[in-house]
Amino acid sequence: MAVERWLIVGLGNPGKRYENTWHNLGRLALQTLARRHRLSVNKIRFKGLSTEGLICNQQVLLLAPETFMNLSGESVRAAADYYKIPEENIIVLYDDIDLDVGMLRIKEQGGAGTHKGMKSIISHLQSENFPRIRIGMGPRPLGDMVDIVLSRIPKSDQEIVQRSLDAAADCCELIIQGEISKAQERYNQKKELD
């Protein structure tokens, strides 16, 4: 298999205030993948924190935008343009309130749904043709959406959330090896991760 360059993006908001919140599940999944491969996402570039390295024999740029969620596309576009990464080689990890906690959905392409970070990326790339991994944080409780997504992940959900972050990292590895169908088969059908 030829070595390709990939961009893997973990969506979230910057700063201590937003650490370990539901809306930062994408960023937490990116950190999980980075730790697994002994990489540190700490270089300031492309309006974000990034690092480069080899994962599964593929050249990968990991990026955590430091813009707020609604402006994530600025960071992603800057990195993709600099490295001339085609959109089909951009993987975006992000939270999804319409999926139960512990569930993942892997898609090769598609719309943003209600996620403002994804709307920004699609707008800046002028394309929906990139893989994404949605990480469940639902079911949607009653209340203000902003308060819900920016709330901290409770201790009672930490174990299942960590399993979903590990599974999202597994999916990234499968996708960059050309195995998105295997990732979908393994994780899209499950109600809750083992």
User: Mind telling me the catalytic residues?
Assistant: 23
- Tokens read off for 16: 């201590």
Taking each continuous run of H as one helix and of E as one strand, the counts in the chain are: 6, 7
The alpha helices in the chain, defined as continuous H runs, are: 25-36, 72-83, 116-125, 145-149, 158-176, 180-187
* Strands 48-55 vs 43-45: parallel, antiparallel or unpaired: antiparallel
Q: Distance between CA 51 and CA 61 in Å, rounded?
A: 6
- Asked whether the bond before 139 is cis by omega within 30 degrees of 0, the reply is yes
DSSP, res 21 = B
Q: Which residue has the tokens 């999804």?
A: 96
DSSP, res 152 = B
- Tokens read off for 19: 């650490």
